[in-house]
Every structure is written in structure tokens, then in C-alpha cells.
Amino acid sequence: MPDIIRKPLKYTTAFVRHNAVLCIAAVLAVITCFIIPPDKEYPGYFDFKTLTCLFCTLAVVCALKNIRFFTIIARTIVKKSGTLRTAVMTLIFITFFGSMLIANDMALLTFLPLGYYVLSAAKKEEYMAYTFILQNIAANLGGMLTPFGNPQNLFLYTKFNIPTVEFMEIMLIPFLASTAMILICCMLIKKESIVLADENTEKFPPLRASFYLLLFALSIIIVFRVIPYWIGLIVIFISLMIADRKAIAKVDYSLLGTFACMFVFAGNMSRIGFIQNILSGLLQKSTLICSTLSCQVISNVPSAVLLSQFTDNYADLLRGVNIGGTGTLIASLASLITFREYTSRNPGKTASYVAKFSLINFIFLFVLMFICYAL
């Protein structure tokens, strides 16, 4: 095959592999554009506040990551663990609580490499798959308690204008159940001594870290509607353009693009009569089950955007698209990140990883569905 064809094909394949959800969302948006041609209603599809809040949060987190803020703190905590069980539990719960602040995908990109480092240094690679899977579940479920913990939370919180206290009340029981289940899984790990050498003494710059933390606080204030989102966007964008332009460049634009494409897809779908009747009917029967199962097929972010057009039952929709992040590999973008990180570091173990991943994730999914259905 000539280079003029092989190289573009190689780059295209790599892009699709690393941005599968974005590509699927784009294809769906384009298809529906042929059914509902672009018109004056299209601008109304886009939730610019959600996109702005997401951009601001991701940009500031990237800036903090660039100074290794989260990695240095997490590594310091893990090195004090003493036993394998405590070390793995620390990794998992750092990911769990970290996802509340920096979103699930960023938590995994930050803490999965730390998990690899800890288990490799301790010569306990046999626990790699189990640890990665639990970190993945922790990232998906830990972020459910806060409006900015998962991208779909931020969207639903904004779209339905959910009061913050009510939001946390809706997600409290699934959150506590998830915490208990993850803790039980951690108890299955052997409690044997390990020693992790203090090979890295790097420290993050305190002034820059303090500045970025102030910007992070500002991004949270925007989410909680304390100040207009466009003011926060201007302040954060200009600040990072001056302090760290690389943070702006490293924002997960594929996630923002996925939202934009899904806004078009969902907006068009809501204008197709028979689709509206079908989805409205299914959601009336059980919003929780419908949204949870939808995640298994088209992932949790697209499910939240699409189904929000056809129901006002935001409580069950919110629960469904959060617990629905467990289950299949495509139920959450975070799961694809974990899969890519594990297989790149452990070639030849893809089949065994998928088997373990599916078993553990579906156990979590069924238990959480039963708990949420009983509410």
C-alpha cells in the first residue's frame, strides 16, 4: 500500500480507536441531520453552560496535573501504606474520592499510572488487573455524589436546574452502597508487607499550585451557579493562557466534542415523532432501567443527553446514568481509558482482563440496580 494512503489510514485508525465515543456521536449527529435538516432551532440544542463549566474544570485540572499536584500527593500517601491491601485500598479510594473533584476520566489518567508504579515496585503484578478494574469502578461511582464528579452529572444538574442538596440526596444511597461494595472488594486482597522505595522527592511549586487551586475553586463556584459562567470562562481562560498554555491545549476536547455532537443528535431525535413516542413510553415504564440499559449500548454521557429530552424524572435518570457506567466496556468513557491503559502495559492479557472486568462490573451493576429500584 502506498505511503500516501497508508499514513492517513494509520492516523485515522488511531484517532478512531482513541476517540471511539466521539466518532460514534459524530456519525449519529450527521445521520439525524439528513432526517432533520439544519434550521433555526439548531442553536437551541446546545447547552453552552454545561460546555463552559466542563471546559473550565478540565483546563484547571490539566494545569494541576502539569505540576504533578495529584500524583505527588497520592504517591506520598501510598508510600506510607506498609501492606499490599492498604496500598491497593489507598489507590482505589484516592481514585474514588478524586473523581469527585477532578472528574472520573481525569482521575483515571492521573492515578492508573500510579497503580502500575506501586504494583510493579512491590513485585505484585498479579494484582494489576484487579486493581485497575476496581480503580475504574471507583472513578465511575465515586463521582456520582457531586454535580461535577461525572460529565453526565454536570449536564443533568444544569439542564434540570437541580438544587445541590437535592442532587446529593438523590445520589447518597447509591454512593454509600458503592463505597461499601468497593471496601468489601478491597478486603479480598492479601494483607502482606511491602516496601516502596522513596525514589522521587519532587515537589510541586507552592505559589503556582495555590493559584491553580484558586482557579479550581472558581470553576466549582461556576458549577454551583454563584457567578455567571461566562465570567468564569473569561477569567480562567486568560489566567491559564498566561500561566500555562499547555493546560488549555491538553483539555479533553474529544469529550467536549462528544457533548456537542450528542446535543445535535438528541435535539434531532426529540423532533422525530415515532422516536419520541417509543422513548417516552419506555421511560414512563422505568426511567431507571431504561437509562441503565442504554448506557450499556451507547455509554453514559450520550444516554444522559439523549434520554433527558424525553423525561422529567431526573432523579431516576441521574441514578441510571451513574450506576450504568458499570457493566460493559463501552458503558463509560472511563472504562475505555482503563482498558487502553491496562492492555498497553500488559500485552497478551486482553481476554483475561475483559473477562474479569465484565464479571466484577456486572456484579456491581446488578446490586446497584436492585438497590436503586427499591428506592
The yes-or-no verdict on residue 205 having pLDDT over 80 is yes
User: Residue 92's pLDDT is what?
Assistant: 94
| Confidence grade of residue 353 (pLDDT, cut at 50, 70, 90) | very high
For 111-147, the pLDDT digits (tens) are: 888 888 888 877 888 899 999 999 999 999 988 988 8
The yes-or-no verdict on residue 196 having pLDDT over 70 is no
User: Residue 5's pLDDT is what?
Assistant: 65
Domain-by-domain residue ranges, the chain? Answer: 41-251+333-361
- Please state, in angstroms and rounded to a whole number, the distance separating the CA atoms of residues 290 and 320: 8
The yes-or-no verdict on residue 24 having pLDDT over 90 is no
- Please state, in angstroms and rounded to a whole number, the distance separating the CA atoms of residues 369 and 15: 34
For 290-306, the pLDDT digits (tens) are: 999 999 988 888 889 99
Alpha helices in the chain (DSSP H): 3-18, 20-35, 48-66, 69-78, 84-102, 104-121, 128-142, 151-159, 164-187, 206-223, 229-243, 245-249, 253-269, 273-285, 287-298, 300-307, 314-323, 333-345, 350-374
pTM given for the model: 0.82
